[in-house]
Amino acid sequence: DAIGPKMTGILAQAIVMFAVSLVCVFGLSSSIAIALFGLSLGLAGASFAVALPQAGRWYPPQYQGLVMGIAGAGNMGVVLDTLFAPSIAEAYGWQTVYGVLLALMVLVLLIYSLAAKDAPGGKTTIALADYGRMLADSDSRWFMFFYFITFGGFVGLASALPLYFTTQYHATGVAAGLMVALIVAFGSGFRPVGGYIADRIGGVKTLSVLFVLVSACYFAVAFLPAGPAPAKGVAGWGLMQLPPVAFAAVALFSVGVLSLGMGNGAVFQLLPQRFRREIGAMTGLVGAAGGFGGFFLAKTLAYSKGATGGFTAGFVFFGFLALLGLVGLIFVKTRWRTTWGAISGARI
């Protein structure tokens, strides 16, 4: 908001590229190095606070869902990571993975520097007190909670599902990567669809349906049986050797992650209608809540596995959390539609 999205994006990309280059050369040899690298990758995640306002400010309110969805579909990079990183690491080592990533980041930075433009009049002065004021607004906290569920679910499952498939169904790392890539592709690819539908029927109605679907998928997955282990000495099942229940899990996760991805688009159809002047700062706050949601989901599933020997408790918890999101929407929808929604020029 203060220096403009383009300059912010260039600076953030340069910092992340520096961190990736260090890992490419020296690797990650300690928990401190991993934590510092994760901190730098937080700037990569903060690219949402660059891309979404930069795209959204060029378009009128009635197209915000679609525009924000298309910009947000950049998280398709998670799919490519999941699809190609395990195979590259298996053949050449993990430092090579970061070398490939660095080359792609240089290319993206060059294209972005040459082609991207900030919308006229996009810069505003945001003081630290403004963040406190925005957080004091109950609407900001509701948006953070909804995105905690949708984007947190998307990111958390992208992180946790490789562990799920390798422990629950004894898939090899490569087979798990392929299944997760397919699942995550639905979430990334359908984010613009969620935004488009929200533009047509309203973000609240769209999110309400999606929260029901997400909850149903979490509950269904929670009670799927585990698969048989391979013979002793075998690393794991290949993709074509997995039991049918593993593919049932893939189908359920695909529907769930598709719904989460569409939910991401629906949240960002609503957000610029409510916080158009502070959209950059609010995108950062809401995006941070989503990122924390991903961490929380992944850690909760890992804790469930460690404490109970299975993932059931973790998925049941998140099924109820999605239903709590539905209750929240029921609570705010009338007020939103009769206050700022009534003057926004878009469906709420």
Helix (H, G, I), strand (E, B) or coil at 125: coil
47 domain residue, yes or no: yes
| Choice between 38 and 129, residue whose per-residue pLDDT is larger | 38
Total structural domains within the chain: 1
26 domain residue, yes or no: yes
Q: What is the DSSP string of 208-229?
A: HHHHHHHHHHHHHHHTPPPPPP
348 domain residue, yes or no: no
Helix (H, G, I), strand (E, B) or coil at 202: coil
* Four-point Cα dihedral 326, 330, 335, 339, nearest 10: 50
Encode pLDDT of 24-50 as tens digits: 888 888 888 888 888 888 777 777 778
- Residue 151 burial (C-beta neighbours within 10 Å; 0-12, 13-18, 19+): buried
The reported pLDDT for the residue numbered 214 is: 96
Among the ranges given (79-88, 217-226, 264-273), the one the predictor scored with the smallest mean pLDDT: 79-88
Helix (H, G, I), strand (E, B) or coil at 49: helix
102 domain residue, yes or no: yes
Q: Beta partners for 237?
A: 171
Please determine, for residue 61, whether its predicted confidence score (pLDDT) is greater than 90.
no
| Choice between 129 and 273, residue whose per-residue pLDDT is larger | 273
The reported pLDDT for the residue numbered 125 is: 66
337 domain residue, yes or no: yes
Encode pLDDT of 193-241 as tens digits: 988 899 889 899 999 999 999 999 999 999 999 888 887 777 788 888 8
DSSP H helical segments within the chain, as ranges?
Answer: 5-26, 31-45, 48-56, 64-72, 76-92, 94-115, 128-136, 138-168, 173-189, 191-201, 203-222, 244-274, 279-308, 312-338
Percent of the chain with pLDDT over 90: 35
53 domain residue, yes or no: yes
Dig out the tokens for 126 from the structure. 């945001």
In which band, very low, low, confident or very high, does the pLDDT at 124 lie, cut at 50, 70 and 90? Answer: low
The reported pLDDT for the residue numbered 122 is: 56
Q: What is the CATH number of the domain that holds 129?
A: 1.20.1250.20
Among the ranges given (26-30, 94-98, 105-109, 232-236), the one the predictor scored with the smallest mean pLDDT: 232-236
Domain limits for position 317:
5-343
193 domain residue, yes or no: yes
